[in-house]
Structure 1
Amino acid sequence: MGRVGLYVFLLISALYFIAPLYVIVGTSMKTMAEIRWGDMLALPESFNVQYWQHAWSSSCTGLNCDGLQAGFWNSVRILIPSVLLSVFIGALNGYALSFWRPRGANFLMAILVCGAFIPYQVLLYPLVRITNALDVYGSLQGIVLVHLIFSLPMTTLIFRNYYLTLPQELFKAARVDGAGFWRIFTSIVLPLSIPMLAVATILQVTNIWNDFLLGLIFAGKENLPMTVQLNNIVNSQLAERTYNTDMAATLLTAAVPLLVYFFSGKYFVRGIASGAVKG
């Protein structure tokens, strides 16, 4: 009886999450006449991707009507350096704070942890002034720098907690053999960090790709990410609301993090089980 109850619970949970996706996909393939009939759960009369093509290449994001494609490539340009830098520097910080323990390491870690819980809105104006003083406000370098700043507390915490679970004897033996800071990091620590590298990369890809607020404020009009372009598509419609195009644009914007989780979800679970939340 308990097994039946478990399966019923899992089925209801699956339907709860699948139902909105079914409605979005179905709506993105319906004509406006079908949508106006009001039956959200009805299948489209014909499965076509013309609204997906329209959302990608010719929907209006304000004055421009070149679709989401420009925002997609902007998001890619923002994502790659932001993820690489935040994961690498987070691993480096975690390594330094767990193995080398410089003076004040616990205090520095406490500051970083506190930084992870400060709302974005509190720091927006100071960051605008700082990036403007550095002459990177409204540029690709500026938005990458801002993502790096907001990512470091969490990535540092993830790697530090993991490194605390590694045998200290490895580190001590390497130092006895004459290995220095960088040799230990590149030859010993990083090869042992594969599970955490996967966890941190998946988290960063999701957070940075889905970001709206920071991209809107710091990226500049030439580098607006896909999420901002999606908002512009939805809010640039002055007459009839084209829900089919809106749903197609939403799915296109969400495709990257969904694919990342679909193909690398098992590595994320392995990384969490290996110590990402320990310490």
Structure 2
Amino acid sequence: MPNSSDGKITDGPRGPKPRKMLSRRNIILYGTLIFVAIYYLVPLYVMIVTSLKGMPEIRLGNIFSPPIEVTFEPWVKAWAQACTGLNCDGLSRGFWNSVKITIPSVFVSIVIASINGYALANWRFKGANLFFTILIFGAFIPYQIMIYPLVILLRDLGLYTKLPGLILIHTIFGMPILTLLFRNYFTTIPEELFKAARVDGAGFWGIYFRVMMPMSLPIFAVAIVLQVTGIWNDFLFGVIYTKPENYPMTVQLNNIVNSVQGVKEYNVNMAATLLTGLVPLAIYFISGKLFVRGIAAGAVKG
């Protein structure tokens, strides 16, 4: 029996009882996680290996087999040569249109929503609760019912079929839910910091830029991921509020995949799909840790 420091004999080892690696709980937990991972990764695997095959190999029919001879020709064609209607410049034009749409939409909506959330959380103005209620109501209105009124509005503003019109649409639709996220996050920041800044003479903008923004990187990461993903992957607004030369990447992808002319090139279709999804995926991986911190720190708390 082991001796203690005071010379007395102890009853045995102390501390928490070690857990079994193959307990029922662990088997269910890890089994579920592995099943879900396989469920999502198998289609991605099929897309990748198909995009690296030539059409003769694809016609053999084994979609799960790795490519016998790797070729990047489908990727080149999807980016710069695939035809979308009368144009045969692939996804490249749609990519730059999506960049022009996404960057200002994300920037403007996040800036305005963060200021709104900051004001609602820390500066109680008259009618703040009514304003917040209207924003929340707007966040849950199905946007499909507003498509036609927005067509009329953009037409009267002279922005219909133009990129600024689509940027305006994405900015407006992103602000309600982002305002909710920022407001809930700012309420989790200790109020003493806000009061101390007020005592030191800081005003509305001084507190926002010097206190709130430096402490809010996680929620900004959450907002960026949500907005980039939503705007970049949007198809409906892009096809309704723009014209062919201004189509975003998703509309170009739809035109390539659903083309009824010529041979159905599945490798080009898969490469085009992967190219379209690379930007949101890269944004998520770059800001992944901040995204998780923002969610955990109050991004979805009521």
Q: TM-score range by the shorter chain?
A: over 0.9
1:103 is matched by which residue type in structure 2? K
- What letter is aligned with 1:51? P
Provide the residue aligned with 1:29 in structure 2: 52
Identity %, equivalent residues:
57
CA deviations 1:232-273 (Å, max 9, x no partner) are: 111223232111111110000011111122232222111111
For residues 112-127 of structure 1, the aligned pairs below 5 Å read 112-127=135-150
Structure with greater contact order relative to length (CA < 8 Å, sep ≥ 6): 1
Q: 1:88 aligns with which of 111, 135, 138?
A: 111
The one-letter code sitting in structure 2 at the alignment partner of 1:27 is: T
1:182 aligns with one of 200, 205, 208: 205
Give the alignment of 1:1-279 within 5 angstroms. Answer: 1-2=23-24, 3-279=26-302
Greater Rg, structure 1 or structure 2?
A: 2
- In structure 1, runs of 5+ residues without a counterpart are none
Distance 1:6 1:212 in 2: 36
Deviation at 1:180, TM superposition (A): 1.8
Q: What residue is the counterpart of 2:15 in the other structure? A: none
Match of 1:191, SS?
coil
Q: SS at the partner of 2:213?
A: helix
Code of the residue aligned with 2:66 in structure 1: it is L
CA distance in 2, matches of 1:219, 1:168: 45
Deviations 1:10-64 (A, max 9, x none): 2222211110001111111222222222211111211111000000000001100
Number of residues paired by the alignment? 279
Q: Secondary structure at the match of 2:246?
A: coil
What is the CA deviation profile of residues 136-174 of structure 1, one whole-angstrom value per residue up to 9, with x for unaligned ones?
Answer: 222121111100010001110000001111122222232
8 Å CA contact 2:253, 2:273 repeated in 1: yes
Report Cα offsets for 1:205-238 as digits up to 9, x if no partner. 1111101111112233332110000011112232
Gaps of 5+ in 2: 1-22
- Counterpart CA distance in 2 for 1:264 and 1:173 is 31
Does structure 1 retain, via aligned residues, the 8 Å contact 2:217–2:290?
no
Q: Which amino acid aligns with 2:36?
A: S
Cα displacement (A) at 1:111: 1.2
